[in-house]
Amino acid sequence: MTKPEINQTFSLKIDAIGSSGEGIGRLEGYTLFVDGALPGEQVHVRCIEAQKNYGRAELLHILEASPDRVKPPCPLFGTCGGCQLMHLSYQKQLETKRQRVIDALQRIGKITEVEVPPCLPSPSPLSYRNKIQLPVKNNPEGLAFGLYAKGSHDLVEVSSCLIHCPMGEEIYREVRRLTTKSGIAAYDPLTGEGDLRHLLIKSAKVTGQALVIFVTASSKQGRWTALAEQIMAACPQVKGVVQAVNKQKGNRILGQQFHLLAGAGHIHERLGDLTFKVSPASFFQVNPEQAVLLYAKALAFAELEGSETVLDAYCGVGTLSLFFAKQAKSVLGVESVPEAIEDAKENALLNNIHNVSFVCAQAEHYCRALSAIDVAILNPPRKGCDELLLKELKRLRPKTIVYISCDPGTLARDLGLLRDFGYEVEKVQPFDMFPQTAHVECVVKLKLGG
């Protein structure tokens, strides 16, 4: 294995794609990651980082292009860090995501016996995202709203984004104009001056409602109230404007303190035949059309007959719990975020569903008090399930586990452990929840072995 020198240039064959969308090539056995390169391409690169076992190289020229390479429709592709695969045909994006799931299952989970079908495409490869979340900085013209360049805190100004839904984009243009005109300054972490840190816009495609959230460094409301009233007058879709106060340093976006500036502090959205409350801090799927298809697949995998007791660990605002409650005897949702549990309870009342209950607790600890469940739903964050929870499921022995994952690596790790506990992986279905990015979601069905 030969490690290249920094700034050394050479030709490289790209033979794979990484979990962050970068091309992967090998120089005499030494692994190199190349942003912007695609499998099958011969590229000319410059080494910019050389660790012991891997390095990174800058793409200088494409010597032989992949037939799957397309011209990115966004002029900011390669500069903005939001999308990683926009230069790859959509069909090949789906194939790449399926292969990523297969590789993780085989390499990490040692799972080779289950067939992984094609990744289900998003109904909309563009204009699907119902949430706009942009950091803000000062510039000579006033304010710059944008996204961070990959691997940095350098702001790339974004006037429009092709993956944002049209309603959100329309509101964003007006909010950006009014906020810049107001004279409000962005927060500068070096000097402590200014106030505005982030702008969030949550849009409900079905109900046509939107919520605007300003993340500020102070709790002062004077100019914010006046701006909120202007936004409400200019944008009829906006049902509320909220100030989220975050005085802490670090990468966390929302703080713990919220002030209603105008209108309502939440909106409503429909998924299938259910209605959900969407609050400033609550998690809600950003691709709702695809989310409905994913939830339907999860429900089908559970094969409920109406007599089952269901545990929904990591239940969030109760989305899956309420979908499952329509076909189960009872559902118990467990979530560690108090605000999410309050929203989940409201969502149950909103939909007149009474065979579901919600508890604010860590699922791995709360499950110790349970004696029996028939079906478990696991929908953890990217880091996967807590091992203590999986050990509790080993004790509870639900006949079926439906695992929804947003990270193939942690999914494969957890499936390997559940298999050691006596479960068989029966079905796997990848979903493209985030087109143009490297992310892939999966729904998995596990059955308790004989």
Q: Which sequence positions are flagged as catalytic?
A: 406
Burial of 232 (C-beta count, 10 Å sphere; 0-12/13-18/19+): middle
| Cβ atoms of residues 163 and 129 within 8 Å | yes
Helices (H), 55-165: 90-107
DSSP string for residues in 156-175: EE-S--TTB-HHHHHHHHHH
User: How far is the C-alpha of 113 from the C-alpha of 127, rounded, in Å?
Assistant: 37
Count of alpha carbons within 13 angstroms of residue 342, beta-carbon side: 8
Bridge partners (DSSP) of residue 142 are 139
- What's the token pair of residue 86? 């926009």
Per residue, the 3-state secondary structure of 187-244, as one string, reads: CCCCCCCCCEEEEEEEEECCCCEEEEEEEECCCCCHHHHHHHHHHHHHCCCEEEEEEE
State the number of CA atoms in the 13 A half-sphere of 112 facing the CB: 3
Task: Say which amino acid occupies 117.
Answer: P
Residue 437 CA to residue 23 CA, distance in Å, equals 14
User: Are 329 and 393 within 8 A, CB to CB?
Assistant: no
Distance CA 436, CA 163 (A): 8
Q: What are phi and psi of 191, to 5 degrees?
A: -100, -20
